[in-house]
Amino acid sequence: MNAVELATELTVAWLGNQNNRVNAEEVPAFLRTMHATITELAGGNAPEVAAADPATSEAEFTPAVSVRKSLGSKDHIISLIDGKPYKTLRRHLSSHGLTPEEYRERYNLRPDYPMVAPNYSEARRQMAHKIGLGAKGRAAKSDAAATPAPSPARKPRAKASAS
């Protein structure tokens, strides 16, 4: 089997996976990359893949949905990468090798673009409040102010006589 056939079969298998969403325009570039990788791994000289200029790299990161639509629901945030809803984007971004800052930069988002859905964040806040997370420090300070300090002199206890 030659490199072109192998690259084609791998590309078809990758496209057949329902978890991968790809536009039809992206398939030829993916096939070229797959072929170059297979040729390189086989020890041959990989054909030169066209160097991506800034205009091409910008077109490569077109959002799956608009920013407005991504924030359209309080229950989830829709990822600009794949168009799927998530309660929190951090794990999803890390699976794509991105930090929240890189994600915001890639799609020209504002620095305050949320990474967690509002309702999910509120539910977590209420749960933390209910179980008392973060209250230990405040409670200790208020208890110290409310209770007077113990007196330094203590009365000696009377010894019980054994009769």
Q: Do residues 139 and 129 touch, judged by C-beta distance below 8 A?
A: no
Per-residue pLDDT at 71: 94
Query: What number is the average pLDDT over the span 131-139?
Result: 77
Per-residue pLDDT at 140: 61
Q: What is the pLDDT of residues 32-64, one digit of tens each?
A: 888 888 888 887 665 554 444 444 444 468 888
Query: What number is the average pLDDT over the span 94-109?
Result: 93
Query: What number is the average pLDDT over the span 93-105?
Result: 93
Per-residue pLDDT at 62: 87
Exposure string over 92-104, b if 16+ CB within 10 A, otherwise e: bbeeeebebeebb
